Structure 1
Amino acid sequence: MVWKTLEYTGWGRARSATGEVARPERQSALKRMVAETPAPAFGMRRSYGDAALNSDGRAYDMTRLDRVLSFDEATGVVEVEAGMPIGDLGRAFAAKGWIPPVMPGTGFATVGGCIANDVHGKNHHVAGSFGQHVTEITLIQNGKPRKITPKSTPTLWKATVGGLGQTGVISRAKIAMMKCKGDMMVLTERRIDNLDEFLVAFDESRTDYTVGWIDATAKGDALGRGILEEGEITSGVPNRKDKTREVPFNAPSWALSAPVVRLFNELYFRRVPAKGRTSVKPIEEPFFPLDAIHNWNRLYGKQGFNQFQCVVPLEKTNCLRIMLERIGQSGLASPLAVLKKMGTGRGGYMSFPMEGYTLAVDFPNRAGAEFLIAELTDMAREAGGRIYFAKDGVATPEQIAGMYPEQADWAAAVAKADPDRSYETDLVRRLKLRDAKGAK
């Protein structure tokens, strides 16, 4: 297997790394290589910041390890290699009546990445996090495969799910699929006039899949306005047309200037009729709305972008209001902003989800953006919330201290699994995650 020196980035392209990368094509090659060179692994690098980066070190690209290994039609348990994109898994099985219970916002996220970040979806309030539906993980530690389950190795399991790849290379996994009616979704969209109305709508919603687009430029009485999307999986004959588009080059800086974003958001808000609308779509459209635009991250220009995503407790709605006011005043927000109500489900020590409201906003990587994200991060911490490491590229160790109450337990388990720190990544080093007090 050849090691190639590459410069690579996270999806936000604001953070990059240069190092040697190998791309094994078989499990046997992966085991042999990890035995010789323990190093972190990455998939499609859909984490926005530096979670998948290892500057001046080696890393494994898992994207060729993307096979379905087995499927039990009686139980719905499927075993796949870690490089399998979650969207491909969903498309392959939905028409057969099965679907991954949790789907993140992009179908390009790999199963290994979904486990390492314990991703959540639009149905978190119903189904919990991805890791809660994984039944077995095969880790490669120093070249030796080790199968772990929630019962057989509970501590190592909780350190692996949501554990940012620090317990070894995730090579394969078994997932308990969920029965579904088909590969279509009934989607209802309606305008929401402000934050208060959004919060009521979330409380009253009874659908499995619920998410809100937020106009992060809105102010005053319209603060927090947006569009609520509610969906349910159904059957039907899909009318799939190729709607794929590609952003062929880096957009100029003016493309996401404040006036342009305000105009776009106004038009996007008005695209849904005042009385709302209901449509039936192939499931990939509402699940992965941006996947049809290949390389959409180029819209932020060659400097890239950072995303801020936090979750704050249910009773801290005033924190959301202050955040949105600050974002609206800054003139830095992009059109991509999402609000969702989350449940309690989480699979590991360092899993992001907690009961509350999660807010995610993209910011072009320009002057003032990192300072604003730092302000928002401090607000989330003071409210008793936390940030999502899969999206972060700018936080400091001091800012995230205390956000994850079980961090010391995680660090202790990771130290036992990887005493030589072979699997550390740029994010883990930047935030000093493995140096938590109380870790052994």
Structure 2
Amino acid sequence: MIPVSSWGRLSADSHHLLALNDPAKIPDLICNGRHPAIAHGMGRSYGDVCLNPDGVLWLTTGLDHFISFDSNTGRVACEAGVLLRDIQQLFIPLGWILPVTPGTQMVTVGGAIANDVHGKNHHQSGSFGDHVQRIKLLRTDGEIIECGPEDRPDWFSATVGGLGLTGLIVEAEIQLRPVSGPWLDVDTLPYDNLDEFFHLADSSEADWEHTVSWIDCISGSGRGMFMRGNPGDARPGPEPKNSKRTMPFVPPVSLVNQLSLRPFNMAYYHLKKWQSGRSIAHYQSFFYPLDNLLEWNRMYGPKGFFQYQSVVPRDVGQAAIQEMLKEIARSGDGSFLAVLKTFGDRQSAGMLSFPQQGVTLALDFPNHGERTHKLFERLDAIVREAAGRIYPAKDARMPRDLFEAGYPRLHEFLKYRDPGISSGLSRRLMGS
């Protein structure tokens, strides 16, 4: 048994680890196992969706081979352990890019499908599952299911965003989109309140593919920096050199605290306001700014941190977000890393997919125990009243009733569950 944590570092429960490296041997390794298991890729989920305390983890990063690529259509087939980073680095020079990518590229294809990750362009491109053309799924009874949007679409809908619970994703085929290079034309604009944010978000959707904002969660006013970008043709010079740094140790207390948060947010806002305007950005700095600081999750100290990400419908979104910001400011806790963005009017591919039309707020909170949980209870009440939902990929403590209310297709999904697969999250929210 080996202790394993997810990205939030909230626990280090013991697991049996089973590395999956040879596709030919996988059926013998996972089928008819005596103990339920769950697939585990890079462990970038924040809570317990990728954990199975006292159980088995199937380690999938060894399934890292590309299978085929059609240079005419941009369709790539690969094993489930291939990283989004590897797809970007290999195919952007060839004129193709992932249509949707989350805030880190250190995610496996299997994990991106299982959590139906989203990016900054949901209003135009939906979520990751909208661009998956085929999934090869291995059930623990040995059945192999090949599914896609048109082929066994019920299995496809259960598996996209299905939290890894319908079977082991072994392979996938993804439709890439054409791109002229690695650069984006970016416009950065300060805003003083939520009225201005929503005006910017609405007025940018038609002409800008990517929109996102950083918000000062403790300012009270809802001020922040709005960023929008489009793929660019400009060739400003060589690609930036690898300048990654590493958070070298776990400090004895969280570096994100009441003493550091307010001055950091104030300084960050005014610096970015001074730097605002048009610029050209490399895709890595625009899409994945945190990937430049390796092990950044250590900054929250030995108790780890939670991420709380919710989405609320647009018609009540401004009032709900304002109320959440008031609760956060009142608590004295908060985050350097607070993201506010809108989701478009698109039906998600998965039964349990997180995105819905509305506005989503994501914040990191140091783990202060009961104090933090009390804050989350107040935020839960706002989300519940607004008929919103919490993102399972980021969750470590959502109450079961909020999960059931937020995901009305849950009962439809349950008939596709693999009884040989279980996770900390599934036992907490589904009972097994």
Q: Is the TM-score greater than 0.5?
A: yes
Shift of 1:173: 0.1
Is 2:51–2:424's contact at 8 Å kept on the other side of the alignment? yes
Whether the aligned pair in 1 keeps the contact of 2:389 and 2:402 (CA below 8 Å) is: no
Residues 123, 208 of structure 1: 8 Å contact kept: yes
The equivalent residue for 1:190 is: 189
Deviations 1:299-345 (A, max 9, x none): 10011000110000111110110000111111111201000010133
Deviation, 1:275, is 7.5
Q: Measure, in 2, the Cα distance between the counterparts of 1:394 and 1:386.
A: 13
Partner of 1:200: 199
What's the secondary structure of 2:46's corresponding residue? coil
**Equivalent residue number for residue 357 of structure 2:** 355
Does the 8 A contact of 1:41 with 1:52 survive in 2? yes
Q: Distance in 2 between matches of 1:58 and 1:226?
A: 43
Distance 1:238 1:375, change over 3 A: farther
1:433 Cα offset (Å):
6.5
Question: What is the rounded CA distance, in whole Å, between the counterparts of 2:345 and 2:132 in structure 1?
Answer: 17
Match of 1:272 in 2: 272
The CA RMSD measured in Å over matched residues stands at 1.5
| Rounded Cα–Cα distance in structure 1 between residues aligned with 2:121 and 2:56 | 36
Which residue matches 1:212? 213
3-state secondary structure, aligned to 2:113: helix
In structure 2, the residue matched to 1:390 is 393
Q: Structure 1 residues 254, 432: closer, same or farther in 2, change over 3 A?
A: closer
Q: What secondary structure sits across from 1:413 in the alignment? A: coil
Take 1:111 and 1:384, find their aligned partners in 2: how far apart are those partners? Answer: 30
Q: Which residue of 2 aligns with 1:111?
A: 109
Give deviations 1:121-162, integer Å, cap 9, x for gaps. 000111001001100001111344331122221211111000
The equivalent of 1:8 in structure 2 is 4
1:19 equivalenced with 2:15 (yes/no)? yes
Give 2:177's aligned amino acid. Answer: M
Does the residue aligned with 2:31 lie in a helix, a strand or coil? helix
1:402 to 405, 410, 414: 405
- Structure 1 Cα separation of the partners of residues 253 and 164 of structure 2: 35
| One-letter identity of the residue aligned with 1:334 | S
Q: CA deviation at 1:394?
A: 0.9
Q: Distance in 2 between matches of 1:252 and 1:186?
A: 41
Percent pairwise identity: 39
Q: Secondary structure at the match of 1:167?
A: coil
Q: C-alpha displacement at 1:34, in angstroms?
A: 1.5
Q: Is the 8 A contact 2:254 2:301 kept in 1?
A: no
- 1:428 and 1:46 mapped to 2: Cα distance? 17
Q: Secondary structure at the match of 2:289?
A: coil
- 2:336 partner SS: coil
Task: Return the alpha-carbon distance in structure 2 between the equivalents of residues 198 and 291 of structure 1.
Answer: 26
Match in the other structure for 1:33 = 29
- List gaps (5 residues or longer) in structure 1: 435-440
AA of the residue aligned to 1:350: L
- The alpha-carbon distance between structure 1 residues 81 and 196, as it changes in their structure 2 partners (threshold 3 A), is same
Q: List gaps (5 residues or longer) in structure 2.
A: none
Q: Which residue of 2 aligns with 1:328?
A: 329
Matches within 5 A, 1:167-182: 167-182=166-181
Q: 2:300 corresponds to which residue?
A: 300
Inter-CA distance 275–138: structure 2 relative to 1 (3 Å threshold): closer
Contact 1:187–1:230 (Cα < 8 Å) also in 2: yes
Provide the C-alpha distance between the structure 2 equivalents of 1:176 and 1:433, rounded to a whole number of angstroms: 36
Q: For residue 354 of structure 2, give the secondary structure of its aligned residue in structure 1.
A: coil
Alignment partner of 2:188: what SS?
Answer: strand
SS at match of 2:62: coil
Instruction: Report the CA distance between 1:230 and its aligned residue.
Output: 0.8
Counterparts of 2:165 and 2:20, CA distance in 1? 19
More divergent stretch after superposition (239-248 vs 292-301): 239-248
Q: Is the 8 A contact 2:254 2:366 kept in 1?
A: no
Give 1:50's aligned residue: 48
Hey, what does 1:438 align to over in structure 2?
none
